[in-house]
Amino acid sequence: MEIGKNLKKYRENSQMTQKEIAEILNVEPATISKYESGILEPKIESLKKLAKVYEITIDELVKDEEDNVDISNVDVLKILKEQKDMKIKNNLYYNTQISFAYNTNNVHNTGLSKEQIRSLLENNTIFFENKTNINANDIIETLNHFKLIDYIIEIANRELTENMIKKFHKILKEGTSEQKEEDYNVGEYKKFANEDIGMKTLSPKDVQKNMDKLISWYNSLSQVNIKKIANLYAVFEKIHPFQTGNGKIARVIIFKECLKNNIIPFYILEKDKLNYYQALKKYQDKEKEYLIDVFEKAQNQYANMMKDYLK
Protein backbone atom coordinates (compact mmCIF):
# COMPACT_ATOMS: atom_id res chain seq x y z
CA MET A 1 0.00 0.00 0.00
CA GLU A 2 1.12 3.54 -0.72
CA ILE A 3 -0.05 5.09 2.54
CA GLY A 4 2.75 7.68 2.58
CA LYS A 5 1.88 9.05 -0.86
CA ASN A 6 -1.80 9.18 0.07
CA LEU A 7 -1.06 11.02 3.33
CA LYS A 8 0.93 13.65 1.45
CA LYS A 9 -1.67 13.97 -1.33
CA TYR A 10 -4.63 14.50 1.00
CA ARG A 11 -2.65 16.89 3.22
CA GLU A 12 -1.66 19.01 0.24
CA ASN A 13 -5.19 18.85 -1.17
CA SER A 14 -6.38 20.22 2.17
CA GLN A 15 -3.69 22.93 2.01
CA MET A 16 -2.28 21.95 5.39
CA THR A 17 1.33 21.87 6.55
CA GLN A 18 3.12 18.96 8.19
CA LYS A 19 3.29 21.06 11.36
CA GLU A 20 -0.49 21.47 11.43
CA ILE A 21 -1.03 17.74 10.96
CA ALA A 22 1.57 17.02 13.65
CA GLU A 23 -0.37 19.17 16.12
CA ILE A 24 -3.57 17.27 15.36
CA LEU A 25 -1.86 13.92 15.95
CA ASN A 26 0.20 15.24 18.89
CA VAL A 27 3.51 14.17 17.31
CA GLU A 28 6.60 15.92 16.01
CA PRO A 29 6.56 17.34 12.44
CA ALA A 30 9.45 15.00 11.65
CA THR A 31 7.12 12.07 12.37
CA ILE A 32 4.70 13.31 9.72
CA SER A 33 7.58 13.50 7.28
CA LYS A 34 8.45 9.87 8.07
CA TYR A 35 4.80 8.85 7.55
CA GLU A 36 4.74 10.50 4.14
CA SER A 37 8.07 9.04 3.07
CA GLY A 38 7.01 5.53 4.07
CA ILE A 39 9.60 5.16 6.85
CA LEU A 40 6.88 4.86 9.51
CA GLU A 41 3.26 3.74 9.30
CA PRO A 42 0.63 5.56 11.40
CA LYS A 43 -1.38 3.67 13.99
CA ILE A 44 -5.06 3.11 13.39
CA GLU A 45 -5.96 5.89 15.86
CA SER A 46 -3.96 8.38 13.80
CA LEU A 47 -5.47 7.15 10.54
CA LYS A 48 -8.96 7.64 11.94
CA LYS A 49 -8.15 11.23 12.95
CA LEU A 50 -6.67 11.99 9.55
CA ALA A 51 -9.60 10.47 7.70
CA LYS A 52 -11.90 12.73 9.72
CA VAL A 53 -9.77 15.81 8.99
CA TYR A 54 -9.70 15.07 5.25
CA GLU A 55 -13.37 14.01 5.25
CA ILE A 56 -12.64 10.65 3.65
CA THR A 57 -12.78 7.01 4.73
CA ILE A 58 -9.81 5.13 6.18
CA ASP A 59 -10.06 2.85 3.15
CA GLU A 60 -9.43 5.78 0.81
CA LEU A 61 -6.50 6.87 2.92
CA VAL A 62 -4.65 3.55 2.80
CA LYS A 63 -5.51 2.23 -0.67
CA ASP A 64 -3.00 2.05 -3.50
CA GLU A 65 -3.46 4.64 -6.20
CA GLU A 66 -3.58 1.96 -8.88
CA ASP A 67 -6.20 0.04 -6.93
CA ASN A 68 -9.48 1.23 -8.41
CA VAL A 69 -11.63 -1.64 -7.18
CA ASP A 70 -14.76 -0.28 -5.51
CA ILE A 71 -15.93 -2.70 -2.81
CA SER A 72 -18.49 -0.40 -1.21
CA ASN A 73 -21.40 -2.18 -2.90
CA VAL A 74 -19.94 -5.68 -3.06
CA ASP A 75 -22.17 -8.45 -1.70
CA VAL A 76 -19.48 -10.51 0.05
CA LEU A 77 -21.88 -13.27 1.06
CA LYS A 78 -23.05 -13.77 -2.52
CA ILE A 79 -19.46 -13.98 -3.77
CA LEU A 80 -18.41 -16.46 -1.07
CA LYS A 81 -21.43 -18.67 -1.86
CA GLU A 82 -20.68 -18.67 -5.57
CA GLN A 83 -16.97 -19.33 -5.13
CA LYS A 84 -17.52 -22.06 -2.54
CA ASP A 85 -19.49 -24.02 -5.12
CA MET A 86 -16.82 -23.47 -7.80
CA LYS A 87 -14.29 -25.58 -5.85
CA ILE A 88 -11.29 -23.80 -7.40
CA LYS A 89 -8.19 -22.34 -5.82
CA ASN A 90 -6.96 -18.80 -5.50
CA ASN A 91 -10.19 -16.87 -5.04
CA LEU A 92 -11.70 -14.92 -2.14
CA TYR A 93 -13.47 -17.95 -0.65
CA TYR A 94 -10.40 -20.17 -0.83
CA ASN A 95 -8.14 -17.58 0.77
CA THR A 96 -10.74 -16.70 3.38
CA GLN A 97 -10.78 -20.32 4.50
CA ILE A 98 -6.99 -20.48 4.79
CA SER A 99 -6.46 -17.07 6.36
CA PHE A 100 -9.35 -17.38 8.81
CA ALA A 101 -8.23 -20.82 10.01
CA TYR A 102 -4.59 -19.76 10.28
CA ASN A 103 -5.27 -16.58 12.22
CA THR A 104 -7.91 -17.97 14.57
CA ASN A 105 -5.68 -20.99 15.33
CA ASN A 106 -2.60 -18.93 16.01
CA VAL A 107 -4.33 -16.42 18.23
CA HIS A 108 -4.23 -19.47 20.54
CA ASN A 109 -0.75 -20.62 19.47
CA THR A 110 -1.88 -23.94 18.04
CA GLY A 111 1.19 -24.09 15.81
CA LEU A 112 -0.16 -25.04 12.38
CA SER A 113 1.55 -23.05 9.62
CA LYS A 114 -0.36 -21.43 6.80
CA GLU A 115 1.10 -23.94 4.35
CA GLN A 116 -0.02 -26.86 6.50
CA ILE A 117 -3.51 -25.39 6.65
CA ARG A 118 -3.47 -24.90 2.89
CA SER A 119 -2.51 -28.57 2.46
CA LEU A 120 -5.39 -29.65 4.71
CA LEU A 121 -7.85 -27.61 2.67
CA GLU A 122 -6.53 -28.75 -0.71
CA ASN A 123 -5.64 -32.37 -0.10
CA ASN A 124 -6.94 -33.31 3.35
CA THR A 125 -3.34 -34.14 4.22
CA ILE A 126 -0.63 -32.51 6.30
CA PHE A 127 3.14 -32.41 6.07
CA PHE A 128 5.44 -32.00 9.05
CA GLU A 129 8.07 -29.29 9.11
CA ASN A 130 11.32 -30.27 10.85
CA LYS A 131 9.58 -33.27 12.42
CA THR A 132 7.43 -30.96 14.55
CA ASN A 133 4.83 -32.69 16.71
CA ILE A 134 1.30 -31.40 16.26
CA ASN A 135 -1.67 -32.11 18.49
CA ALA A 136 -4.27 -34.19 16.64
CA ASN A 137 -7.02 -31.93 17.98
CA ASP A 138 -5.46 -28.96 16.15
CA ILE A 139 -5.67 -30.81 12.85
CA ILE A 140 -9.23 -32.01 13.48
CA GLU A 141 -10.40 -28.56 14.57
CA THR A 142 -8.85 -26.98 11.48
CA LEU A 143 -10.73 -29.39 9.22
CA ASN A 144 -13.87 -28.72 11.26
CA HIS A 145 -13.30 -24.98 10.93
CA PHE A 146 -13.46 -25.34 7.13
CA LYS A 147 -16.81 -27.14 7.53
CA LEU A 148 -18.03 -24.50 9.96
CA ILE A 149 -17.23 -21.61 7.62
CA ASP A 150 -19.05 -23.45 4.80
CA TYR A 151 -22.05 -23.83 7.10
CA ILE A 152 -21.86 -20.17 8.11
CA ILE A 153 -21.90 -19.10 4.47
CA GLU A 154 -25.02 -21.18 3.83
CA ILE A 155 -27.02 -19.97 6.84
CA ALA A 156 -25.61 -16.44 7.22
CA ASN A 157 -28.94 -14.72 6.56
CA ARG A 158 -30.75 -16.57 9.33
CA GLU A 159 -31.40 -14.93 12.70
CA LEU A 160 -28.83 -15.76 15.37
CA THR A 161 -30.19 -18.30 17.89
CA GLU A 162 -29.00 -20.28 20.88
CA ASN A 163 -29.37 -23.60 19.03
CA MET A 164 -27.38 -22.21 16.11
CA ILE A 165 -24.49 -21.18 18.38
CA LYS A 166 -24.50 -24.58 20.06
CA LYS A 167 -24.39 -26.24 16.63
CA PHE A 168 -21.35 -24.10 15.73
CA HIS A 169 -19.59 -25.48 18.80
CA LYS A 170 -20.56 -29.07 17.99
CA ILE A 171 -19.27 -28.76 14.42
CA LEU A 172 -15.97 -27.25 15.63
CA LYS A 173 -15.32 -29.94 18.25
CA GLU A 174 -16.65 -32.98 16.38
CA GLY A 175 -14.15 -35.87 16.50
CA THR A 176 -11.79 -34.19 18.99
CA SER A 177 -10.75 -35.81 22.25
CA GLU A 178 -12.89 -33.19 24.03
CA GLN A 179 -16.03 -34.56 22.40
CA LYS A 180 -15.34 -37.93 24.00
CA GLU A 181 -15.21 -36.49 27.52
CA GLU A 182 -18.46 -35.57 29.26
CA ASP A 183 -16.82 -32.77 31.27
CA TYR A 184 -16.32 -30.72 28.10
CA ASN A 185 -20.04 -30.92 27.27
CA VAL A 186 -19.45 -30.30 23.55
CA GLY A 187 -22.37 -28.57 21.87
CA GLU A 188 -23.82 -27.52 25.23
CA TYR A 189 -23.00 -24.86 27.80
CA LYS A 190 -20.18 -25.35 30.30
CA LYS A 191 -20.47 -27.36 33.50
CA PHE A 192 -17.45 -25.89 35.26
CA ALA A 193 -15.99 -22.42 35.80
CA ASN A 194 -13.43 -21.22 33.26
CA GLU A 195 -11.55 -18.05 32.38
CA ASP A 196 -10.43 -16.06 29.36
CA ILE A 197 -6.88 -14.64 29.19
CA GLY A 198 -6.92 -14.19 32.96
CA MET A 199 -10.33 -12.48 32.83
CA LYS A 200 -13.04 -13.77 35.14
CA THR A 201 -16.04 -15.17 33.26
CA LEU A 202 -19.58 -15.99 34.35
CA SER A 203 -20.28 -19.07 36.42
CA PRO A 204 -22.07 -21.98 34.72
CA LYS A 205 -25.31 -21.25 36.60
CA ASP A 206 -25.46 -17.75 35.08
CA VAL A 207 -24.74 -18.73 31.49
CA GLN A 208 -28.25 -19.60 30.29
CA LYS A 209 -29.97 -16.41 31.42
CA ASN A 210 -27.15 -14.19 30.17
CA MET A 211 -27.00 -15.89 26.79
CA ASP A 212 -30.79 -15.49 26.50
CA LYS A 213 -30.40 -11.81 27.36
CA LEU A 214 -27.54 -11.31 24.88
CA ILE A 215 -29.30 -12.99 21.97
CA SER A 216 -32.58 -11.20 22.73
CA TRP A 217 -30.81 -7.82 22.82
CA TYR A 218 -28.93 -8.47 19.62
CA ASN A 219 -31.93 -9.68 17.64
CA SER A 220 -33.94 -6.65 18.77
CA LEU A 221 -31.53 -4.22 17.07
CA SER A 222 -32.99 -2.30 14.17
CA GLN A 223 -29.51 -1.72 12.73
CA VAL A 224 -26.21 -3.52 13.19
CA ASN A 225 -22.84 -1.78 12.89
CA ILE A 226 -19.27 -2.44 13.98
CA LYS A 227 -19.95 -1.06 17.49
CA LYS A 228 -22.85 -3.46 18.00
CA ILE A 229 -20.74 -6.32 16.65
CA ALA A 230 -18.00 -5.42 19.14
CA ASN A 231 -20.50 -5.45 22.00
CA LEU A 232 -21.90 -8.82 20.91
CA TYR A 233 -18.37 -10.21 20.81
CA ALA A 234 -17.20 -8.77 24.13
CA VAL A 235 -20.28 -9.87 26.07
CA PHE A 236 -20.09 -13.37 24.59
CA GLU A 237 -16.44 -13.61 25.66
CA LYS A 238 -17.34 -12.36 29.14
CA ILE A 239 -20.03 -15.05 29.46
CA HIS A 240 -17.66 -17.68 27.97
CA PRO A 241 -20.56 -20.12 27.65
CA PHE A 242 -18.66 -23.22 26.50
CA GLN A 243 -16.01 -25.15 28.39
CA THR A 244 -13.48 -24.57 25.59
CA GLY A 245 -13.42 -23.04 22.12
CA ASN A 246 -15.21 -19.81 23.03
CA GLY A 247 -12.84 -17.50 21.15
CA LYS A 248 -13.17 -19.43 17.91
CA ILE A 249 -16.94 -19.56 18.21
CA ALA A 250 -17.11 -15.82 18.97
CA ARG A 251 -15.08 -15.03 15.84
CA VAL A 252 -17.31 -17.26 13.71
CA ILE A 253 -20.44 -15.56 15.09
CA ILE A 254 -19.26 -12.05 14.21
CA PHE A 255 -18.11 -13.22 10.78
CA LYS A 256 -21.61 -14.55 10.14
CA GLU A 257 -23.27 -11.39 11.39
CA CYS A 258 -21.05 -9.20 9.22
CA LEU A 259 -22.06 -11.24 6.18
CA LYS A 260 -25.73 -11.04 7.16
CA ASN A 261 -25.64 -7.27 7.56
CA ASN A 262 -23.40 -6.56 4.56
CA ILE A 263 -20.58 -5.29 6.78
CA ILE A 264 -17.02 -6.03 5.66
CA PRO A 265 -16.29 -9.28 7.55
CA PHE A 266 -13.14 -9.89 9.55
CA TYR A 267 -11.33 -12.16 11.99
CA ILE A 268 -8.68 -11.33 14.58
CA LEU A 269 -5.22 -11.27 13.05
CA GLU A 270 -2.53 -13.38 14.68
CA LYS A 271 -0.06 -10.48 14.53
CA ASP A 272 -2.50 -8.30 16.48
CA LYS A 273 -3.33 -10.83 19.19
CA LEU A 274 -1.58 -8.93 22.01
CA ASN A 275 -3.45 -5.75 21.10
CA TYR A 276 -6.63 -7.83 20.90
CA TYR A 277 -6.14 -9.32 24.37
CA GLN A 278 -5.49 -5.88 25.87
CA ALA A 279 -8.43 -4.35 24.00
CA LEU A 280 -10.82 -7.07 25.18
CA LYS A 281 -9.82 -6.47 28.80
CA LYS A 282 -10.23 -2.72 28.36
CA TYR A 283 -13.67 -3.23 26.82
CA GLN A 284 -14.81 -4.90 30.02
CA ASP A 285 -13.65 -1.74 31.82
CA LYS A 286 -15.85 0.38 29.50
CA GLU A 287 -12.92 1.52 27.33
CA LYS A 288 -14.60 0.33 24.15
CA GLU A 289 -12.67 2.18 21.45
CA TYR A 290 -9.62 -0.11 21.61
CA LEU A 291 -11.49 -3.27 20.60
CA ILE A 292 -13.33 -1.39 17.86
CA ASP A 293 -9.95 -0.21 16.53
CA VAL A 294 -8.68 -3.80 16.44
CA PHE A 295 -11.81 -4.83 14.55
CA GLU A 296 -11.52 -1.96 12.07
CA LYS A 297 -7.88 -2.82 11.39
CA ALA A 298 -8.91 -6.43 10.70
CA GLN A 299 -11.68 -5.13 8.42
CA ASN A 300 -9.11 -3.16 6.43
CA GLN A 301 -7.05 -6.34 6.02
CA TYR A 302 -10.05 -8.24 4.68
CA ALA A 303 -11.03 -5.33 2.44
CA ASN A 304 -7.56 -5.40 0.90
CA MET A 305 -7.86 -9.15 0.35
CA MET A 306 -11.21 -8.55 -1.34
CA LYS A 307 -9.61 -6.04 -3.68
CA ASP A 308 -6.80 -8.46 -4.50
CA TYR A 309 -9.23 -11.19 -5.57
CA LEU A 310 -11.97 -9.09 -7.15
CA LYS A 311 -9.82 -7.19 -9.64
Considering its fold, how many domains does the chain have in total? 2
Q: How far apart are CA 70 and CA 52, in angstroms?
A: 20
Please check whether residue 69 lies inside any domain of the structure: no
Please check whether residue 67 lies inside any domain of the structure: no
Beta bridge partners of 196: 199
Q: Tell me what pLDDT residue 310 has.
A: 78
User: What is the domain extent for residue 124?
Assistant: 76-309
Q: How far apart are CA 246 and CA 50, in angstroms?
A: 36
| 40 and 161 belong to one structural domain | no
CATH number of domain containing 8: 1.10.260.40
Q: How far apart are CA 55 and CA 127, in angstroms?
A: 49
Q: Tell me what pLDDT residue 45 has.
A: 87
| 87 and 125 belong to one structural domain | yes
In the chain (311 residues long), the average pLDDT of successive 10-residue segments reads 80 83 91 88 88 80 64 89 88 94 86 86 80 81 97 98 98 95 94 86 97 98 96 97 96 98 93 91 91 93 86 68
223-227: which pairs have CB atoms within 8 A and are 24 or more residues apart? 224/257, 224/260, 224/261, 224/263, 225/263, 226/263, 226/292, 226/295, 226/296, 226/299, 227/288, 227/292
CATH number of domain containing 168: 1.10.3290.10
Cα dihedral 77, 81, 86, 89 sign: positive
